[in-house]
A and B are shown apart, each in its own frame.
Chain A
Amino acid sequence: MKNTVFFDTIPILATKDQVYRRLGFREAKTVVSARQAREIERYMQKAARLVSLKGAASTVAFRKEQDSRIVFSKKILFESRQLAMFLERCEGMLLFAATAGKEIMEAVKRSSKGKDVTEAVVLDAVASETVDAALDWIMGYFNRQLLRENRRLTRNRFSAGYGDFLLENQKKIYDILTLKRLGIAITPECILVPEKSVTAIAGIRGMTDERKKRTA
């Protein structure tokens, strides 16, 4: 898609709290010794060096047909009742993706094969949380622009594989966003490689300005 915006560097990293929570840390229960905390911190620093966070996004104007068809440029783009419901009252949608890059996943692979599984789980958690944060970052970027147009993105996002929105749709999103450019590949089963790569959809809604209503 010609209007795809690429983010070759997304300058964020998951926080320690986010990573700890993902790994099962419970505030008033889990006790971590100073030595263990140092070890985990070392792995998190390594993860920070290895993550290469990139993203892509594209806005798409669509219309709905028969409660389940999302039509774009006279073609059926997606067919899913649940996605159509998610996009209720939306005049457009944002297709977007983020990846933590190849390097960190190769390190996870090396470590998890018995070299240092502790390191692998920490790197894996940092990559997962960071990619999630990158999706929020991309939504923030578009929301800032949409605000000036009195529009905004839906709070939640939808992904291929949710409900009746089949995983095969990930291939369509992959092609529309030309994710190959970010170094992402897709398997015949529609799984993105490297592993910590995700796609998502958010709806674009118009906002009724309160002041406008008051004036009227």
Chain B
Amino acid sequence: MNVKKELLELIRRRIVVLDGAAGTLLQQLGLPQGMSPELWCMEHPEIIQSIHSGYQKAGADIVYTCTFGANRLKLKHYKARQVKKLNMNLSLLARKAAGEGAYVAGDIGPTGHFVKPFGSLAFEEAVDIYKEQVKGLLAGKADIFAIETMMDIQEARAALLAVKELTDAFVMVTMTFEKDGRTLNGTDPVSALITLQSLGADAVGCNCSTGPLAMRKIIASMKPYAKVPLVAKPNAGMPRLSGNKTSFEMGPGQFAACARRLVTAGANMIGGCCGTSPEHIKALKKTLQGRRPLPPERASVCALSSARKTVIIKKDGPLIVIGERINPTGKKELQRELLGNKMSLVKQMAKDQEGEGALALDVNVGVAGINEEKALKKAVEELSVATELPLCIDSSDSRSVEAALRAYPGRALINSISADKEKLKKLLPLARKYGAMFILLPLSGSSVPETARQRIKIIRAVFKQASAAGFTKYDFIIDALAMSIAYNPDAAKEALKTISWCRRQFRCNTVLGLSNISFGMPARKELNSAFLSLARSRGLTAAIANTARLKASYSKAAERVLMNRGKGALKKLTALATKSRSPAPQPAGKGLSPVQKISRAAIEGNKEDMGAYLKEALRAGVPALTIANESIIPAIKKVGDLFEKKEYFLPQLIASAETTKKALHYLEPFLKEQKGGRPKRAIVVLGTVKGDIHDIGKNIVSLMLKNHGFQVIDLGKDVSAEKIVNAAAQHRSSIVGLSALMTTTMIHMKDVIALARKRKLRVKFIVGGAAVTQQYAKSIGAAYGKDGVEAVRMARKLTEKKTS
């Protein structure tokens, strides 16, 4: 029996015990800080061998080689180049120390760089780096492989592919999760599991991260979807840092007692990470003796994943809507972008469809003259970052499909594989290698099978071949073929029959290209909507559709009520109905006089309704000056007070200022007609000083000053002293307002003031900005405005003084 079979048999019978930490033990035994553990172990082989044999004697079934950082990128830091030799020798040391009593796992850790699309390390380069390490470990007689402490799912995939492309040895992959239950890079445990087990990991799990209690939750969340054994290698509790000293909270007894819960959560292989020792593993072994492992719950999972999300496809679940818009057919702008190697529109389409309720996205970049392989790979990389949704790779070119699948940090769906011999030959192995699901298209040859009976025959034939290649019915979705009823009036009936057969007899999930059914017909929206209802009632699982149109015709809540699914369904539907039937929200000012409404809108910052209220007031004969003096000006003052008392915060202050600005602008022509109008205050020149590009604060002050009647000359940002002083002289301004964000730029305020004094300008200065203080303002002979409200008050004070 080979090692893989032996190990799988062992996992079936009992909990397999893994070793504990090496790093923390090496530090205790003299590893200097900042030194490579791998290189130090080669200088002190007896120390690492004592650690390996210590774990083996403690009861570990598997010991890890001390090669966690023995990859090209990490070793380069220590100027070590012989990667293969080092891995081989370290593996041989472990082999010798473990003897026949334990398996040796070639340990593979992160490179310290994030892999594309999440970082700068090219995916193929990462695979190559790991292959170099794997070759060394194989030469050193490692029995199995342990890829561990991965934070980046793409890096874990690269390492896994490196192992799989060199050997069929047993390989386990463990990720490390943060307190929020995700990896630092945002991958949740279930998505990591779906992606890695589909790609061929023989065991998946979690290491480092936390102590055994918190890790229990991670293992429990994976278990319902695991088709492989689960691995847990927790720390000895959390590290505690006190001053410069660190320690782990759990001793061997407590660690072992807590680890029992990992078994009930579903872990099949358990060991220790940071802070654990042979004593911890000895206690663990003793505790786990006689405990029955929970076997993996499934042989297969019908699920798609991205780096940050999993979509489980199940017969009673919600309709899986696959957004169809990323397809250049008939879309000239998208064609232009793709041919120009641009992806902004593709990303925007993804975001739009995600917002409209899509659960996955179809990606097709087929345009005449395009390098499809390159374009599809790029689209997949960019979309992996732009959206959380899993992707459906839509191409008939096998090279493009492979490029996309290799680059995709999740479990994708291939659209599609038909009975065509060439397609089966090329695409089935790709789906197998990369663990992708596929859409089974019941087509054979060039003609479309018209009847359900013909389609069923093809489905059976394709399934036979897929089954022989190791696929189950959970690994694909059947396209029931929606053809236009304009050309075949029975097309809908035959598609529905196919769906019924798939659900009731074949027991497999189905998908439809929904809008095809109404092609060339009038009332397409109504036809599509009715067809979707009929198809769902026959058991349709997924639809490739235009999410914007589907949103209007498909209600998840209504469907759940009709099918009696879930207790909260009726409540949700009632809420939906109330919302859609309720009249448009009443304006906030119902029952108030026109002037009161304006005042209220100004205080609330209600820009939308202000125009209507002003018209209403003017129609009712209220003079514009009365509106300004009795409604708007008091509102401005009140909002300033609310802001000062902290009852309002900045967005409320600004929204109100913008609303009053809009109101005053509207009233301006009416005010001019009236005698006197609104009094104009002094001229203020505003600018952000030279070298500083941060001007949002200055823009707020400008808005506030204008609302208080000041005439503002806004010079913008990064303005020289010369330009500011010239403007002040030219406009005969009473005040100059200067802003700066940083200590390094605020010093230029002094230059402006000095230049103005030199030119003998009778102008006053107000300064403000994040780094500016009252004390600094005083030191340069300026007034201080800590925010917009304060700046207005100061401007009024300075100009009133001048008048008096």
Determine whether the beta carbon of A161 is less than 8 Å from that of B744: yes
A108 at the interface (CB under 8 A from B): yes
Look across to chain A and name the residue whose beta carbon is closest to the beta carbon of B716: A113
Look across to chain A and name the residue whose beta carbon is closest to the beta carbon of B307: A11
Q: Please encode chain A, from 87 to 116, with 1 for each CB lying within 8 Å of some chain B CB and 0 for all others.
A: 001011000000000000000100011101
Q: With the chains together, A29 CA to B245 CA distance in Å?
A: 41
B606 at the interface (CB under 8 A from A): yes
Say which residue of B351, B648, B700 sits within 8 Å of A117 (CB atoms).
Answer: B700
B769 at the interface (CB under 8 A from A): no
Say which residue of A6, A20, A26 sits within 8 Å of B119 (CB atoms).
Answer: A6
Look across to chain B and name the residue whose beta carbon is closest to the beta carbon of A52: B385
Determine whether the beta carbon of A117 is less than 8 Å from that of B699: yes
B308 at the interface (CB under 8 A from A): yes
Determine whether the beta carbon of B308 is less than 8 Å from that of A161: no
A76 at the interface (CB under 8 A from B): no
Determine whether the beta carbon of A147 is less than 8 Å from that of B119: no
| Known contacts A35-B606, A49-B351; is-contact A191 B692 (Cβ 8 Å) | yes
Determine whether the beta carbon of B245 is less than 8 Å from that of A207: yes
Q: With the chains together, A113 CA to B716 CA distance in Å?
A: 10
A81 at the interface (CB under 8 A from B): no
Q: With the chains together, A66 CA to B186 CA distance in Å?
A: 44
A88 → chain B closest CB, angstroms:
12
Q: Please encode chain A, from 108 to 128, with 1 for each CB lying within 8 Å of some chain B CB and 0 for all others.
A: 100011101110111011000
B693 at the interface (CB under 8 A from A): yes
Determine whether the beta carbon of B696 is less than 8 Å from that of A124: yes
B-side contacts of A114, CB under 8 Å: 699, 703
Say which residue of A7, A29, A91, A208 sits within 8 Å of B647 (CB atoms).
Answer: A29
Determine whether the beta carbon of A24 is less than 8 Å from that of B239: no
| Known contacts A11-B308, A140-B178, A181-B120; is-contact A24 B351 (Cβ 8 Å) | no
Q: With the chains together, A11 CA to B76 CA distance in Å?
A: 28
Q: Please encode chain A, from 179 to 210, with 1 for each CB lying within 8 Å of some chain B CB and 0 for all others.
A: 00100000101110101000000000111111
Residues 52-70 of B at the A interface (beta carbon under 8 Å): 68
Q: Please encode chain B, from 637 to 655, with 1 for each CB lying within 8 Å of some chain A CB and 0 for all others.
A: 0000000011111111011
Residues 237-279 of B at the A interface (beta carbon under 8 Å): 239, 241-242, 244-247, 274
Say which residue of B651, B695, B742 sits within 8 Å of A112 (CB atoms).
Answer: B695
Look across to chain A and name the residue whose beta carbon is closest to the beta carbon of B30: A212
A-side contacts of B181, CB under 8 Å: none
Determine whether the beta carbon of B28 is less than 8 Å from that of A212: yes
Determine whether the beta carbon of A7 is less than 8 Å from that of B654: no
Determine whether the beta carbon of B23 is less than 8 Å from that of A24: no
Determine whether the beta carbon of A8 is less than 8 Å from that of B647: no
Look across to chain B and name the residue whose beta carbon is closest to the beta carbon of A123: B696
**A-binding segment of B109-117, B476-484, B527-535:** B109-117
Determine whether the beta carbon of A211 is less than 8 Å from that of B28: yes
B-side contacts of A17, CB under 8 Å: none
Determine whether the beta carbon of B33 is less than 8 Å from that of A118: no
B-side contacts of A156, CB under 8 Å: none
Determine whether the beta carbon of A36 is less than 8 Å from that of B699: no
A39 at the interface (CB under 8 A from B): yes
A-side contacts of B185, CB under 8 Å: 9, 11
B404 at the interface (CB under 8 A from A): no
Look across to chain A and name the residue whose beta carbon is closest to the beta carbon of B23: A148
| Known contacts A36-B604, A215-B28; is-contact A118 B655 (Cβ 8 Å) | yes
B539 at the interface (CB under 8 A from A): no
Determine whether the beta carbon of A39 is less than 8 Å from that of B655: yes
Determine whether the beta carbon of A212 is less than 8 Å from that of B693: no
Q: With the chains together, A144 CA to B23 CA distance in Å?
A: 13
Q: Please encode chain B, from 669 to 694, with 1 for each CB lying within 8 Å of some chain A CB and 0 for all others.
A: 00000000000000000000011111
Determine whether the beta carbon of B117 is less than 8 Å from that of A8: yes
Determine whether the beta carbon of B119 is less than 8 Å from that of A209: no
Q: Please encode chain A, from 131 to 163, with 1 for each CB lying within 8 Å of some chain B CB and 0 for all others.
A: 000000100110011011111100000000100
B-side contacts of A7, CB under 8 Å: 114, 118-119
Q: With the chains together, A7 CA to B185 CA distance in Å?
A: 10
Look across to chain B and name the residue whose beta carbon is closest to the beta carbon of A137: B184
B151 → chain A closest CB, angstroms:
7
A87 → chain B closest CB, angstroms:
15
B396 at the interface (CB under 8 A from A): no
| Known contacts A36-B652, A140-B178; is-contact A112 B696 (Cβ 8 Å) | yes
Q: With the chains together, A145 CA to B74 CA distance in Å?
A: 12
A50 → chain B closest CB, angstroms:
11
A-side contacts of B742, CB under 8 Å: 161, 167, 191
A2 → chain B closest CB, angstroms:
8
A-side contacts of B694, CB under 8 Å: 195
A23 at the interface (CB under 8 A from B): yes
Q: With the chains together, A174 CA to B654 CA distance in Å?
A: 35
B624 at the interface (CB under 8 A from A): no
A-B contact pairs, 11 of them (CB 8 A): A3-B77, A5-B114, A36-B605, A36-B655, A39-B651, A61-B34, A114-B699, A122-B651, A191-B692, A193-B693, A212-B28
Residues of A participating in the B interface, judged by any CB pair closer than 8 Å: 3, 5-9, 11-12, 20, 23-26, 29-33, 35-36, 39-40, 43, 49, 61, 89, 91-92, 108, 112-114, 116-118, 120-122, 124-125, 137, 140-141, 144-145, 147-152, 161, 166-167, 181, 187, 189-191, 193, 195, 205-213, 215
Residues of B participating in the A interface, judged by any CB pair closer than 8 Å: 23-24, 27-28, 33-34, 37, 68, 76-77, 110, 112-114, 116-120, 149, 151, 176, 178, 184-186, 208, 239, 241-242, 244-247, 274, 308, 351, 385, 588, 604-606, 645-652, 654-655, 657-658, 690-696, 699-700, 703, 742-745
Assuming A7-B118, A29-B645, A211-B247, what are 8 further A-B pairs, CB within 8 angstroms? Answer: A20-B649, A23-B650, A24-B650, A35-B588, A35-B604, A118-B651, A121-B651, A210-B242
